């Protein structure tokens, strides 16, 4: 099974009315602002940016964006939605390994920029901030998916890890559209290039 479409109108289930899910819904609609703490901190506190920090940080960013591209190649435009409406449940590609591959990738990307900036002390704080931001979002998304896909989603949820990749017993087949993924991620990649350029400028001028 590659993806499942809802067969009927999906009223909200009880889980959607939980406080954490309602907070997550607000954060989900405004998640474009979530990376702000990870962007602002390097420009307030200047760390020591050495060749090693650039190398390790770049590896983190590259790994995180690779996971994101894989996820977008599987899910397509669903990854850019801001509304509650979901048209299909994707269970193949990275979604067979974990339920939130894009957020998993985001974590590596933004911690990678902290490493590049030479702010290793910020990493434990980054983990805490990430958990505070994304845990409610995941609660909201899980509630919406349960409302929309019912038992089919609950079976997927039971067999698939939320955050950490676990190899599936049998990986479902599905189509990956890499062209769509690159097109969708183009603006994100430009943002990364600009941020890296600014950090390089900060390093040169300090």
What is the DSSP annotation of 121-138? GGHHHHHHHHHHHHHHHH
Cβ–Cβ < 8 Å for 11, 147: yes
Q: Which CATH class is domain 12-205?
A: mainly alpha
Domain ranges of the chain: 12-205
SS3 (DSSP) at 149: helix
Measured from the Cβ of residue 26, the count of other Cβ atoms closer than 10 Å reads: 12
Confidence bin at 80 (pLDDT 50/70/90): low
Confidence bin at 76 (pLDDT 50/70/90): confident
The pLDDT value recorded for residue 41 is 72
Cβ–Cβ < 8 Å for 60, 114: no
pLDDT in tens, 109-138: 988 988 888 888 888 888 888 888 888 889
SS3 (DSSP) at 112: helix
């Amino acid at each position: 099974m590659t993806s499942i479409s809802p067969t009927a109108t999906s009223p909200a289930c009880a889980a959607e009315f939980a406080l954490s899910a309602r907070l997550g819904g607000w954060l989900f609609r405004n998640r474009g602002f979530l990376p702000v703490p990870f962007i602002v901190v390097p420009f307030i506190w200047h760390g020591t940016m050495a060749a090693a920090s650039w190398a390790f940080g770049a590896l983190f960013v590259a790994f995180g964006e690779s996971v994101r591209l894989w996820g977008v190649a599987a899910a397509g435009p669903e990854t850019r939605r801001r509304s509650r409406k979901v048209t299909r449940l994707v269970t193949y590609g990275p979604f067979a390994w974990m339920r939130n591959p894009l957020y998993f990738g985001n974590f590596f990307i933004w911690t990678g920029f902290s490493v590049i900036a030479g702010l290793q002390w910020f990493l434990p704080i980054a983990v805490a901030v990430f958990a505070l931001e994304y845990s409610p979002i995941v609660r909201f998304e899980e509630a919406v998916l349960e409302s929309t896909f019912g038992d089919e989603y609950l079976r997927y949820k039971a067999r698939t890890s939320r955050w950490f990749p676990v190899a599936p017993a049998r990986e479902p087949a599905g189509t990956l559209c890499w062209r769509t993924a690159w097109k969708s991620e183009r603006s994100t990649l430009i943002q990364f290039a600009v941020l890296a350029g600014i950090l390089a400028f900060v390093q040169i001028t300090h």
